Structure 1
Amino acid sequence: MNAVLSKPPLRQRLKPLLEGFDTPLLLAMLWLAGLGLMSMYSAGFDHGTRFVDHARNMALAAAIMFVVAQVPPQRLMALAVPLYTLGVALLVATALFGITKKGATRWLNVGIVIQPSEILKIATPLMLAWWFQRREGQLRTMDFGIALALLAVPTLLVAKQPDLGTSILVFGAGFFVVFFAGFPWRIILPAMILGAAGITALVMSEEKICQPDVEWPVLREYQKHRVCTLLDPHKDPLGKGFHIIQGEIAIGSGGLTGKGFMQGTQTHLEFIPERTTDFIFAAYGEEFGLMGALALLAGFTALILRGLMIASEAPTLFGRLMAGAITLSFFTYVFVNMGMVSGILPVVGVPLPFISYGGTAMVTLGLSLGILLAIAKSRRGKKG
């Protein structure tokens, strides 16, 4: 009787929860988390409680990741429509009743103040992966048109707030799903050629189009300033160009091996703006130099390559599309953040995963990695 009623040991009860985790992916995450904590301690030890808060946010993200990793992809797929619908409804409510700060209406009070656009970073690719899973084996051109419409709704609503950085991330995450689903290259290539031609024309005509009396269609005045500042930050070195110039100085002064842990002068003399958030890579590059940057890039490369491998081996179309989209979203975050800090892209406010401070961004990171781990576990389950 006692043997029947006795509980199994805790280790035995936890074993099913811990089995099936993808070890290479976890190692890449631990490497990046360690670099993130180290760089945040150096950049934020004299910046209030940033390091403690960053560690807390990272622990919260790890807990969310662990919980989400236990959910089978089929159940995640069932959340696609309600989560996407809720996210879009909240974006509409934000446009109508949202809180405006510094000219942007990005927040909504629902008892607590939230930023609904963060939901769409996950909900948009989830919805599109669900759509293509339903249409598997019978895809037509019209199906891609519907998918692009589903992608356009949240992208445009977020861009209208205005929040160009988040709209780029939402669009990127969704478009990667459409791309992996088989979006035709005959449409992608002309768009890429037009984009390259447009950028070339922009650079060549910078002197004329960046005059104060020239208005740009579609883009707002501050967005025009960001692009013009990127093209020539030295026109306003103490104003709009300050961020880019100081970021370049910090990264360049790091040299091969950097100035050393907690020894960054640009960082600790307050020359780098947003040194614990958007511009933390500049602080990192100053203290750890080219070798440190390569170590950081090695971690991101390992995570991205492993994510793509998980995507290629996923047992369902939904799993392949979600894993691929999440993985390339990390690439977008890294490319845009490092690009804007290094002066090759406009400053759009995109955090660097694991490294930048930010509670909401860390929660989104935990959700994304949890879904990726869940897909990896489902792949192993199928093999078993």
Structure 2
Amino acid sequence: MGLGPQLGVSARNRMTWRDKIAHISWPMIFLIGCIASIGFAMLYSAAHGSADPWMDRQAARFGVGLAMMFAVAMIDLKTLMRFVYPAYVVSILLLVWVDFAGEVGMGAQRWIDLGVVQLQPSEIMKITLVMTLARYFHGLSYEDVGRPLSLIVPTLLVLVPAALVLKQPDLGTAGMLMMVAAAMFVVVGVRWWKFALVLAMGVGVAYYAWNSPDILHDYQKARIMTFMDPESDLQGTGYHITQSKIALGSGGVWGKGFLQGTQSHLDFLPERQTDFIFTMYAEEFGMVGGLVLLGLYVLLVAYGVVIAVRCKSQFGRLLAFGLSFNLFCYFFINTAMVMGLIPVVGVPLPLISYGGTVLMTVLIGFGLVMSVNIHRDQRIGRRLGNEDA
């Protein structure tokens, strides 16, 4: 898997714009374009063969997002590090703003209405949390990571936004934040017995949350119970997942063909342009089409992991790995959800599902990964400004 030629500049020399453009990850951009094109086609199909109201808006946002992705890719890692903690603070403030004055939709208070666009701060936090943990662990040695006291700060960095997101309520995004953070903790060398201790504490918190209406709402409990027995309420809480399974089964091996899906086009399939868009895709293109799409996602994740491994700075390695795992969580949770393997949660399919904030943050995340690749030879000391290895 080619990542471009080795950089011809030393760690102490600044790269020119021409150098940076020469090391853009074009294979990654090709994969992103393939997945996004599938998304445009599915949004066209979701609107019964019309570009309005979803495909045309998504395409326009994708164009803006690509420009932002290229701009972010040009920023060197040291400059990114300087803005990490301020970005985290702003993200926390946006989550607090949602709690006090956010827009309510579909039973959740998750958006900030900016007039031109509705901003979803929880999606922004998925990116800034990875950046913040990468920045923090970059300043620690392996021995430091082994000390329990050094893990108090990163644990709080995770728990605070997770609690704010859970309060919206958004169980899926809160779960993603915890999963990505746990993966990064493993990569930096946190001992397994500490995870066992956290898991035991998590069981206690889950028990408390289940019995507290202020934390876990009735509809979230219903989703979990429906996951255990979908047929218990086919016309109520079990309707979404039942129709999703019917649509998946009706697609068979090869699918019914583009624009020929019955469950989606007869309006049996709910939220076909967002959370359940993979179901519509699988009905029209079958199991083979579904495996092709999942394969494209796996290639993107693998590409990001290879970039992480080849980077010479701890910050870059953790940043590329965390964002790659974040992408994995996106498509794994969404596809597992629509197949009935996990409870239904509000996690979209990246580059496919309709949504402005999700699309922009995903593309910015790709821009950050490409920045790691472009500046992979840049050495950064544990204290910013020190170029020692």
Q: TM-score range by the shorter chain?
A: 0.7 to 0.9
Structure 2 CA distance for aligned equivalents of residues 147 and 295 of structure 1: 37
Trace 1:309-328 onto structure 2 (pairs within 5 A): 309-328=306-325
SS at match of 2:109: strand
Deviation at 1:109, TM superposition (A): 5.1
The CA distance in 1 between the partners of 2:167 and 2:122, in whole Å, is 11
- Looking at structure 2, the residues matched to 188 and 376 of structure 1 have their Cα atoms a distance apart, in angstroms, of 31
Task: Confirm whether residue 258 of structure 1 aligns to residue 269 of structure 2.
Answer: no
Partner of residue 246 from structure 2, selected from 231, 240, 249: 249
Compare CA radii of gyration and give the structure with the larger one. 1
Choose from 123, 146, 149 the match for 2:128.
123
AA of the residue aligned to 2:75: V
- Structure 2 counterparts to residues 343-354 of structure 1, below 5 A: 343-354=340-351
The structure 2 residue matched to 1:162, chosen from 160, 169, 174, is 169
CA distance, structure 2, for counterparts of residue 158 and residue 258 of structure 1: 37
Partner of 2:339: 342
Aligned-partner residue type, residue 364 of structure 1: T
Contact persistence 1:147–1:178 (CA under 8 A): no
C-alpha separation in 2, matches of 1:284 and 1:193: 39
Cα distance change on mapping 1:381 and 1:95 into 2, 3 Å: closer
How big is the shift at 1:114?
Answer: 3.0
Partner SS for 2:28:
helix
The alpha-carbon deviation at position 108 of structure 1 amounts to 3.6
8 Å Cα contact 2:142-2:189 kept in structure 1: no
* Cα distance change of structure 1 residues 132 and 216 upon mapping to structure 2, 3 Å threshold: same
- 8 Å Cα contact 1:144/1:178 also seen in 2: no
CA distance in 2, matches of 1:338, 1:85: 32
- Cα deviation for residue 180 of structure 1 reads 1.6
2:31 is equivalent to residue 34 of structure 1: no
**1:117/1:58 Cα in 2 relative to 1: closer, same or farther (>3 Å)?**
same
- 1:19-58 paired onto structure 2 within 5 Å: 19-44=22-47, 45-46=49-50, 48-58=52-62
Tell me which residue corresponds to 2:231: 234
Give the TM-score normalised by structure 1.
0.85
Within 5 A, what are the aligned runs for 1:53-132? Answer: 53-108=57-112, 113-132=118-137
Q: Does 1:172 align with 2:179?
A: yes
Structure 1 residues 312 and 176: CA distance shift in structure 2, 3 A: same
In the TM superposition, residue 194 of structure 1 has moved relative to its aligned partner by 9.7
Give CA-to-partner distance per residue, 1:281-332, whole Å, 9 cap, x none: 0100000001101110110111111111111111100011111110011110
Secondary structure of the residue aligned to 2:260 is coil
Residue aligning to 2:305: 308
Distance in structure 2 (CA, Å) of the matches to 1:319 and 1:78: 13
Which of 369, 373, 376 aligns to 1:379? It is 376
Check conservation: 1:315, 1:378, Cα contact below 8 A.
no
Tell me how many residue pairs correspond in the alignment.
355
Q: Partner amino acid for 1:49?
A: P
Cross-structure match for 1:7:
none
The answer (yes or no) to whether the contact 1:95–1:105 under 8 Å persists in 2 is yes
Shift of 1:125: 1.2
- CA gap 1:363/1:298 in 2 versus in 1, 3 angstroms: same
Contact 2:119/2:357 (CA < 8 Å) preserved in 1?
no
Task: Give 5+ residue unaligned stretches, structure 1.
Answer: 1-12, 203-214
TM-score, structure 2 length as denominator? 0.84
Q: C-alpha distance in 1, partners of 2:124/2:33? A: 25
Q: 1:188 aligns with which of 195, 199, 211?
A: 195
Residues 23 and 380 (structure 1), Cα distance of their counterparts in 2 relative to 1, 3 Å cut:
farther
Instruction: Using the TM superposition, name which of 33-42 and 99-108 deviates more.
Output: 99-108
How far 1:192 moved relative to its partner?
6.6
Q: How far apart, in 1, do the equivalents of 2:281 and 2:337 lie?
A: 15
Bigger mean CA deviation after superposition, 21-30 or 250-259? 21-30
Q: Which has the larger helix fraction?
A: 1
**Counterparts of 2:113 and 2:53 in 1: how far apart (Å)?**
25
Report SS of the residue matched to 1:354: coil
The AA in structure 2 aligned to 1:51 is: M
Match of 1:4 in 2: none
Q: Is the partner of 1:379 in helix, strand or coil? A: coil
